[in-house]
Chains A and B, each alone.
Chain A
């Protein structure tokens, strides 16, 4: 409500607009310290993310280094057409989405479950040991992880196949079988990262007000009930936000691991956009084509995240924006 001091007869003819702006300005003033706090980071984003944003235009141009992005000739959707001209275009997109989907199904819940279990451990020393050990595999480089996978899964003398044989099954040539690729890819991912990824949930768990547990226990809740009624709701926002962030990356995939793990006989499930583009070779600096592919990925990610964020806002109280 405008104060008597600032209200004037003229305002009554357009009250809504005037007061909205006035309200906004007032809030800016009252939030001035908060605005001060965010200023450095916002400046950073404007300078380092928005100023170079024009680079997105490269996807529509035939980039010529000596002319720069602005003066390079415009080619419209040429690169996108070229990409979809490939007989493999849809297969590549499908593979990325499926790999990320399976990843979501497995790699997402496991760190949560692990964190919850850790939370239940009472012997502190044991808990800390498990925590520390679990985050180590994250640091082993992909090259070594793949090397270990090859050794263990070897159809000649790998542990897994030796065991299969002893149990009376036929040996499996794991890495050359399309049916096994996703399992191996995601399995090694989970193995390497569940401990590291659980750290965030541990922090969230630590942030739950202990008084809530007190209250629950006084009400006679069992351990299980406490888990369901205090713990889970306590970390629910974290889970939902992380899920949304993950959904916004459905078209992104770590290409180094794919290159190391895949082979022509598994192309039908393992060949993704980034590995295909790598094989094209990008001779002579084919930046425009790469930019077009990136833009396409980004757009799909964008649509996904918008849709799911809207869903999340409807169904829960948490959302990215």
Chain B
């Protein structure tokens, strides 16, 4: 991209650069702070002497979190749910969103209305629980994969993206004899890498962070994801219900736990984004395919 190097252009670039540096600072700082708190000496951490760099050194906060025989199993479970769940989510979402983006699709209106309605009104936890139970999904891995298989919000944004693919493209392919499925697979999907990357990211993060469904539907601890355990530890260390329980003085080590948890829980998922970034490259060659 060659932009003309005007003065106002350069000023704009400089301003943007400054703002971006500010962004880096305010976004990186919390993570650095959390990391420093997690490896500092517990006394220094409790005295809030840690601002940016760790004071003292102690891996106790990590030991307390990781010192659980089930933790590797939980990690594996989370991976399973995240990968499997995301694959199902993305597939079903784009399969639904693409037809809805075609203005000529006969069922476009009714289906859109139907799914948007579910975004606003739902029967609540108990009927869903009864249903899950009756279907036989209770206490099985599939509960976490199938529940929430499609998110209406994601369908809508995918649909919005698909609707930027011009009808003329689809029409000319039809004239060449292709059916909808073929068009979808060979033309639409390759052009939709950005939105697919976004869906993968959002769904994966959603699975990674989720714990409530596991809490309700997975009493079997061998099936439970990591987050469930981490939420337990987190709540225990902050003790939101402090005044109700007969007092226990927390060791300082426990107070540090909420920081090491964040690192343990999010480090893996943080590294997913850079891999997906390359799909956000500007300028998809729609024209080239047309030609």
Q: Which residues of A contact B (CB under 8 A)?
A: 24, 27-28, 31, 33-38, 40-42, 44-45, 47-56, 58, 69, 114, 117-122, 126, 128-141, 143-145, 147-148, 151, 191, 195, 199-200, 202-211, 213, 222-223, 234, 237-238, 241-242, 245, 248, 287, 291, 294-295, 298, 301-302, 305, 318, 320-321
Of all chain A residues, the one with the shortest Cβ separation from B122 is A49
A-B contact pairs, 9 of them (CB 8 A): A35-B99, A37-B95, A38-B95, A41-B150, A54-B123, A122-B13, A129-B24, A145-B30, A237-B163
- Asked, given contacts A133-B24, A203-B280, whether A298 binds B96 with beta carbons under 8 Å apart, the answer is no
B213, chain A: closest CB distance, angstroms: 12
B283/A48 in contact, CB under 8 A: no
CA distance A301 to B106 in the complex (A): 28
Q: How far is the CA of A129 from the CA of B284 in the complex (A)?
A: 22
Given contacts A132-B274, A137-B27, 15 further A-B contacts (CB under 8 A): A34-B180, A52-B130, A53-B121, A53-B123, A136-B27, A141-B234, A144-B30, A151-B48, A203-B279, A203-B280, A209-B286, A248-B119, A302-B121, A320-B156, A321-B112
Cβ contacts B20-62/A at 8 Å (1 or 0 each): 1001101110110110000000000000100000000000000
Chain B positions 93 through 126: 1 when the CB is less than 8 Å from some CB of chain A, otherwise 0: 1011011101011110101111110111111101
Judge if B160 is at the interface, Cβ distance under 8 Å. Answer: yes
Q: Which of A48, A199, A305 contacts B201 (CB 8 A)?
A: A199
- Contact yes or no, B273 A37, CB < 8 A: no
Known contacts A128-B274, A200-B198; is-contact A41 B95 (Cβ 8 Å): yes
Residues of B contacting A33 with CB < 8 Å? 179-181
Chain A residues lying within 8 Å of B194, measured Cβ to Cβ, are: 202-204, 206-207
CB-based contact B28/A136 at 8 Å: yes
Q: Assess whether A210 is in contact with B280, with CB atoms less than 8 Å apart.
A: no
If over half of A's interface residues share one DSSP class (helix, strand or loop), that class is named, otherwise mixed; here it is helix
Given A223-B3, A287-B126, the answer on whether A209 and B287 have CB atoms closer than 8 Å is yes
In the complex, chain A residues whose CB is within 8 Å of the CB of B156: 241, 245, 320
Taking the nearest CB of chain A, how far is it from the CB of B241, in angstroms?
A: 12
Instruction: Establish whether residues A48 and B131, one from each chain, have CB atoms under 8 Å apart when the complex forms.
Output: yes
Nearest A residue to B277, CB-CB: A128
Residues of A within 8 A of B130 (CB): 52
The one of A37, A69, A143 in contact with B184, judged by C-beta atoms closer than 8 angstroms, is A37
Also in contact, A53 and B122, with CB within 8 A (given A37-B96, A121-B16, A131-B277)? yes
Task: Chain A residues near B150: list those with CB within 8 A.
Answer: 41, 44-45
Report the separation of the CA atoms of residues A223 and B179 in the bound assembly, to the nearest whole angstrom: 41
State how many angstroms separate the Cβ of A306 from the closest Cβ of chain B. Answer: 10
Interface size on B, residues (CB 8 A): 99
Q: Chain A interface: which of B69-77, B246-254, B258-266?
A: B258-266
A202 to B277, CA, bound (A): 10
Q: Is B270 an interface residue (CB 8 A)?
A: yes
Does A42 lie within 8 Å of B111, measured CB to CB?
A: yes
Q: Is the CB of A209 within 8 A of B109?
A: no
Given the complex of chains A and B, what is the CA–CA distance between A56 and B105 in angstroms?
31
Q: Which of B119, B153, B156, B201 has the most CB of A within 10 A?
A: B119
Q: Tell me, yes or no, whether B157 is within 8 Å of chain A by CB.
A: yes
A69 — nearest CB in chain B belongs to which residue? B127
Alpha-carbon distance between A241 and B116 when the two chains are bound, in angstroms: 12
Residues of B within 8 A of A131 (CB): 273, 277, 280
A134 to B280, CA, bound (A): 15
**B232 lies within 8 A of chain A by Cβ:** no
Known: A55-B127, A148-B30. A134 touches B23 (CB 8 A): yes
Cβ–Cβ < 8 Å partners of B245 in chain A? none
Taking beta carbons and an 8 Å cutoff, which residues of B are in contact with A? Answer: 1, 3-4, 6, 9, 12-13, 16-17, 19-20, 23-24, 26-28, 30-31, 33-34, 48, 92-93, 95-96, 98-100, 102, 104-107, 109, 111-116, 118-124, 126-128, 130-131, 146-147, 149-150, 153, 155-157, 160-161, 163-164, 179-181, 184, 192, 194-195, 197-198, 201-202, 205, 209, 234, 238, 258-259, 261-262, 265-266, 269-270, 273-274, 277, 279-287
Q: Do B180 and A148 have beta carbons less than 8 Å apart?
A: no
Q: How far is the CA of A36 from the CA of B96 in the complex (A)?
A: 10
Question: Hey, which chain A residues are within 8 Å of B23, CB to CB?
Answer: 114, 130, 133-134, 195
How far is the CB of B122 from the nearest CB of chain A, in Å?
6
Chain A hits for B179, CB < 8 A: 33
B284:A58 contact, CB within 8 angstroms: no
In the bound complex, residues from chain A placing their C-beta under 8 Å from that of B161 are 203-204, 207, 238
Q: Of the candidates B109, B126, B205, which one forms a contact with A58 in the assembled complex, judged by CB atoms under 8 Å apart?
A: B126
Residues of chain B with a CB closer than 8 A to A199's CB: 198, 201-202, 280
* A134 and B27 form a contact (CB under 8 A): yes
CA–CA, A241 and B259, complex, Å: 37
CA distance A121 to B177 in the complex (A): 42
Given contacts A34-B102, A298-B121, contact A41 B30 (CB under 8 A): no
Most A C-beta atoms less than 10 A away, residue of B6, B126, B131, B274: B126
Which residue of chain B has the shortest Cβ distance to A234 in the bound complex? Answer: B164
Nearest B residue (CB) for A260? B240
Nearest chain A residue, comparing its CB with the CB of B93: A41
Q: Which one of A53, A119, A139, A143 lies within 8 Å of B258 (CB-CB)?
A: A143
Chain B nearest CB from A125 CB (Å) reads 11
